[in-house]
Structures are given as structure tokens and as C-alpha cells.
Chains A and B, each alone.
Chain A
Amino acid sequence: MSTSLLNDWADWAPRLLDGLGLSLKVTGLSLAIGLTLGLVLALWSSAKRLPVRLPAIVLVEVGRGMPALVMLQLIYFGLPDAGLTLETFPAVVVALSLTTAAYTSEIIRAGLRAVPSGQLEAASALGMSGGDTQRFVVIPQGLRIALPTLMGFAILIFQISALAYSVGLPELLSQAYSVGAATYRYLDVLVLAGLFYLAVTIPASWLVARLERRLNRHL
């Protein structure tokens, strides 16, 4: 590796770091909104009566079936035709939140269902209401069971945030691309961008694996 490449990387790094910051911001915000919606959808789609849970099931299936890129394009380029225009940042956050909600609702639902039914019976025999049982017994344990899978999904959403490049949000990939366009050094700058992504995803995956082992120990 020549010193000139390292020098160039050092020159580009601040721009890419700005982009990485924005990527992380988009990811964090989308996860906060998406996970909340995901929990709501998980509870909604667990409703006893089919007509009640049907809308939730439709939302989840559409959200999971639609590619995130299509969702993003639809919101950013499509919705203005219907009179709703969003800036790039909110458009990306809305699209990624919806994708997150749809996917995580299924992960959370599986976690909630893994709570042993004996505990539900005990709560019921104690006279606890259905709402209290969900709030104090099922949700805390269900989320804990779902946590490693949810964190794995969070890493995926961080990677997916690169799609925001397609609507011109100056996140990590966009920054790398504009450096490439100015210098014609696409290979060099994209490798650096890749390293930036890896610097986040590899330690994060490692953390998830550790968390998983720790949670399993207590089962």
C-alpha cells in the first residue's frame, strides 16, 4: 500500500466520516420509530379475532414484500404526485422505519409467542387484566427473547441505509461517490467507504454474538 493512497484516504476521511455520521443518524432514528411501530404491529397482529388483526397482517406483508429501495423511491419520487412532498432526510427515515416496522413486528411476535403459556395462565388466575399481562409479563420477556435477532436486524438496516444514496442524501455512500466523481478514484474511495461500513458492522455483530451467549446462559 503506497503512502500516497494513505494520504488520499486521510484527505477523504473527514467527508466520509460526515457521511457515516448521517448514515448512523438515519439508522438510529429509523430503528427508534420502526421498532416502536414493530411492537404495535406485533401486538395488533396477535389479536384473537381475524378481522381485527387483518389490517396489521396486510401492512406487515406489504412492508416485508416490498424492496426497501422501491419503498424509498415511492415515498420520495412517488408521493409528491399525490401532494405529499418530503425532504430527502425524512423520506429516507420514513421508508426505513416502515421496512423496520414490518420486519421487526414478525421478530417481536415470535419473541412474544415464546413466553411460556403457563405464565399467561398464572397471570389470568391471579386476576390480572389482559393488558397488564402483556405489559408486565409478556412484553418484557418477549423483547428479551427477540433482542439478539433485533440487533442483527439493526445491523442490516445500517447497511440498507446506503440506499439513501439513490435520493441524494449525503450519507456515507453518497459522499464516497462524490469523491469518486471528483477524483475518478472510485476503487480507492469505495474501498475506504467499505472499510467504514465494516468498522461498524463487524464490532456490532461481535457484540450481538456476545449478548446472545449471555442471554442463553440465563435460560
Chain B
Amino acid sequence: MTTDPSAGQAILSLSNVRKEYAGHVAVDDVDLTVSAGEVVAIIGPSGSGKSTTLRCINLLEVPDSGTVSVLGRTLDTARGVKHAELMQLRRDVGMVFQSFNLFPHLTVLRNVSLPQERVLGRSRKEADERSMALLEQVGLASKASAYPPKCSGGQQQRVAIARALALDPKVMLFDEPTSALDPELGLEVLAVMRQLADKGMTMIVVTHEIHFATEVADRLVVMSDGRIIEQGDPKAVLADPQVERTRTFLSAIRDR
């Protein structure tokens, strides 16, 4: 793991990304380049455009302008994105949501296996083997035949991580993965994420967990009013923020 983003090869970059909702500018002029194996944490006050930025990467939100480039495939969003390009992008990029979004009518195992069968064309047997290996990895092999509503939030989120990983993404996006969880359950999820980072997965994490950001992230990105206002080594940014807005935000978090 490296703290210098220029050391690895760029795997993902956003350039000049702008997204507006009915006259309200959610994200503007965002440039972000992420290297292979890098863990980037995005923090900032609510409404600062963190989640929108993340959702612009896998085009759950299509930016009004700007380019999204993943593994050398550059998509100019203003020109429109072809279906095949979108599908390729979604294969390369996995995502984990704040509210888990498991399919409650399917068992844990089916949740992890179904996308593999439908998206990658794996056989049921192949998919189930991969699912079980991943469920083992996130500590939930014993829950394979349970239904999500019978699992705790922390367990559901770990299943959601396994479900995304099962498609062998090259980049993982986490949108406030622990915000809906009790602190203790959040720790289980953070442990799995740390494990993933140690294995060299490229990760972009929108989070309020300053501790995780400092310990695990290689780079901290601070957003405010739809823009990136500061970024750098997490410890350095936290110790000596260069921008006033960062300072007030950090002290607000620490005061809690």
C-alpha cells in the first residue's frame, strides 16, 4: 500500500464532472484520479456532493458534463453513454450502499449468486462456490440459507460487500457503508473493508468515520458545496487542514 497516488497506475479518473438537479448544482468541477490499489476516503458536510460524486463514477447519476474514465475506457457523459459501455463500467466498478439494498425475497446465498449468473453467465454451481468462498471471507458462511431480514444490519452489509465482490470488480465504491448501523455493527463492516484494502482493492469510500479514514485510507478528499476543497494524506489533512471550511467541518465532527 502506498500513500503516494502517483506511485500506482491510474485506474479511475473523473474530469470536470458537473451534476445539476433542477437548478441546484450538486457537484461542480470535480477532478479525481485514483491509482490501482489506492484507498480514497471522501468526507464533507451533508449536501456537499460526496455521494453524488460517488454515484457519478458508476453512472447511477449521469453527470451533465465531464468525463468518467475507468481502466482506460473514457466516457464523455455530455455526449451520452452507450448501453454496452455502461454495462462494462458496471462490471468494473462494484458498489455498496448505505441501506445495503439486499434482495429480501432471496436467501443470502442467492443474493450473492444471482448477479454472477445473470451478469457474468456463471453456472449455478460455479456461482455458489464463489459465493460461499466470499461469505466465508466476510464471516457469514453460516448465514448462507438465511433471508436478509433475519440478519443484523452489519451482517446484511457484509453480504452486500460479498455480492459486489463476487463480480470481480476492479474498483469498489462505498456510500456511507456504516451510517445506518450501530457503532458495534459498523465495526464488523469496517473490519471487512480494512481486510479488502489490505488485499490491494482500489476503494473509494464516502464516510463519516474519521478513524477509518485515517487508519485505512491512503488519501483523504474533503468536499464542500459540490467541490473538492482539499485533499492529501489523511493524517496531514486532519492535523493541519489548509482550508478554513475543512477546519470548521473537522472541529464539528470532533466536538461530537
Q: Are A126 and B164 in contact (CB under 8 A)?
A: yes
Q: Mark A35-64, 1 if CB is under 8 A from B, else 0.
A: 000000000000000000000000000000
Min CB gap B122→A, angstroms: 13
Min CB gap B78→A, angstroms: 21
A218 to B148, CA, bound (A): 11
Q: Which of A123, A126, A141 contacts B105, CB < 8 Å?
A: A141
Q: Looking across the interface, which residue of chain B has its beta carbon closest to that of A144?
A: B105
Q: Mark B91-132, 1 if CB is under 8 A from A, else 0.
A: 101110101011111100000001100110000000000000
Q: Are B105 and A140 in contact (CB under 8 A)?
A: yes
Which chain A residues border B149 with CB–CB below 8 Å?
A: 218
Q: Are A128 and B105 in contact (CB under 8 A)?
A: no
Query: If the complex has contacts A121-B60, A121-B97, are A128 and B103 also in contact, measured as CB distance less than 8 A?
Result: no
Which chain B residues border A166 with CB–CB below 8 Å?
A: none
Which chain A residues border B50 with CB–CB below 8 Å?
A: none
A144 to B147, CA, bound (A): 16
At the interface with chain B, which of A3-11, A129-137, A147-155, A199-207?
A129-137
Q: Are A125 and B105 in contact (CB under 8 A)?
A: no
Q: Are B95 and A127 in contact (CB under 8 A)?
A: no
Query: If the complex has contacts A118-B97, A132-B118, A136-B118, are A126 and B103 also in contact, measured as CB distance less than 8 A?
Result: no
Q: Does A178 contact B (CB under 8 A)?
A: no
A interface, over-half SS: helix
Q: Does B87 contact A (CB under 8 A)?
A: yes
Which chain B residues border A121 with CB–CB below 8 Å?
A: 60, 97, 101
Min CB gap B169→A, angstroms: 9
Q: Mark A106-128, 1 if CB is under 8 A from B, else 0.
A: 00000000001011011111111
Q: Are B97 and A127 in contact (CB under 8 A)?
A: no
Q: Does B194 contact A (CB under 8 A)?
A: no
Q: Does B167 contact A (CB under 8 A)?
A: yes
Q: Are B90 and A125 in contact (CB under 8 A)?
A: yes
Residues 58 to 98 of chain B near chain A (Cβ within 8 Å): 58, 60, 87, 90-91, 93-95, 97
Give the interface residue-count category, chain A.
Answer: 10 to 19
A128 to B103, CA, bound (A): 13
Q: Does B158 contact A (CB under 8 A)?
A: no
Which chain A residues border B119 with CB–CB below 8 Å?
A: 126-128
Which chain A residues border B104 with CB–CB below 8 Å?
A: 141
Q: Total A-B residue pairs with C-beta atoms closer than 8 Å? A: 56
Q: Mark A171-198, 1 if CB is under 8 A from B, else 0.
A: 0000000000000000000000000000
Q: Does B163 contact A (CB under 8 A)?
A: yes
Q: Are A126 and B115 in contact (CB under 8 A)?
A: yes
Query: If the complex has contacts A136-B118, A218-B149, are A127 and B101 also in contact, measured as CB distance less than 8 A?
Result: no
Q: Are B97 and A124 in contact (CB under 8 A)?
A: no
A144 to B95, CA, bound (A): 27
Query: If the complex has contacts A141-B105, A218-B149, are A126 and B99 also in contact, measured as CB distance less than 8 A?
Result: no
Q: Are B60 and A125 in contact (CB under 8 A)?
A: yes
A118 to B106, CA, bound (A): 15
Q: Are A127 and B87 in contact (CB under 8 A)?
A: yes
Q: Are A118 and B101 in contact (CB under 8 A)?
A: yes
Q: Which of A118, A127, A137, A141 contacts B90, CB < 8 Å?
A: A127
Min CB gap B68→A, angstroms: 14
A182 to B60, CA, bound (A): 71
Which chain B residues border A127 with CB–CB below 8 Å?
A: 87, 90-91, 115, 119, 167
Please report A residues at the B interface, Cβ cutoff 8 Å: 116, 118-119, 121-129, 132, 136-137, 140-141, 144, 218
Please report B residues at the A interface, Cβ cutoff 8 Å: 58, 60, 87, 90-91, 93-95, 97, 99, 101-106, 114-115, 118-119, 149, 160, 163-164, 167
9 closest residue pairs by CB, A with B? A127-B90, A122-B101, A125-B95, A118-B101, A126-B115, A127-B119, A132-B118, A141-B105, A127-B91
Give me 13 other A-B pairs in contact (C-beta within 8 A), A126-B119, A127-B115 excluded: A116-B101, A118-B101, A122-B101, A124-B60, A125-B58, A125-B93, A125-B95, A126-B94, A127-B87, A136-B103, A136-B106, A141-B103, A141-B105
